[in-house]
Amino acid sequence: MSRIGLSPIEVTSGVSIDISQGNLVTVKGPKGELTQQVHPEMGIKIEDGVLTVSRPTEQKRHKSMHGLYRTLIHNMVVGVSEGYKKELELIGVGYRCSSTGNLLELALGYSHPIYFAIPAEVKLTTAMEKGQPPLITLESHDKQLIGQVAAKIRAFRKPEPYKGKGVKFKGEILRRKAGKTAAK
């Protein structure tokens, strides 16, 4: 039984949900607008400011879609009302970041700088404070897009397990390894 799919979604004030033909869900709020195509077999109802997703049968594929679409719609409601934020740290000597509009420039120890264009839906800020690692902050109303952009930035130089150098999420705990000298 899908516990996630059965829990209702509270529609906060300032957020409007429109369900059109073919189960196209459009969520509008103060931060923006998102749309999601829901499988036609899934049922969606809005009653008294509470949205519920229902499944037609107890088949495994219907159970999995039930939880999936409920979570996607919930993420859309939270995104247009509160928004999402991801922070990445650059750990390493000489690692720098700067931004010009939605163009991110990274110096990650390669022979050349890396330029990465951020989508218009994502707000980019960078901070370089003395004594702190350089920080990249991404903010958006689309959870899927912000996660994808953060993963691409992290993929330029993943944190290595010996010294911990690389691009990591703020608060991420890395599994560290002992070097060759630990074997003696």
Q: Which domains does the chain have, with CATH numbers?
A: 3-81 (3.90.930.12), 84-169 (3.90.930.12)
| Cα(156)–Cα(29) distance, integer angstroms | 34
3-state SS record for 61-101 = HHHHHHHHHHHHHHHHHHHHHCCEEEEEEEECCCCEEEEEC
142-158: pLDDT as tens digits = 999 999 999 999 999 99
Residue-level pLDDT at 2 = 57
The H or E element containing residue 153 is: helix 143-155
The H or E element containing residue 167 is: strand 166-169
80-108: pLDDT as tens digits = 999 999 999 999 999 999 999 999 999 99
What's the whole-number mean pLDDT along residues 60-73?
92
Ranges assigned E (strand) in 1-145? 9-10, 16-20, 24-28, 33-37, 43-47, 50-54, 84-91, 96-100, 103-107, 114-117, 123-127, 135-140
| HSE-CB for 29 with a 13 A CA cutoff | 22
What's the whole-number mean pLDDT along residues 110-127?
95
Q: Minimal CA–CA distance to 84: which of 152, 143, 145?
A: 143
Residue-level pLDDT at 95 = 94
pLDDT score of 124 more than 60: yes
pTM, rounded to two decimals: 0.88
Indicate the SS3 state at residue 30.
coil
Residue-level pLDDT at 1 = 46
CB 97 within 8 A of CB 103: no
Q: How far is CA 115 from CA 90, 107, 172, 182, in A?
A: 15, 9, 24, 38
| Cα(179)–Cα(93) distance, integer angstroms | 19
Confidence category of residue 6, pLDDT binned at 50, 70, 90: confident
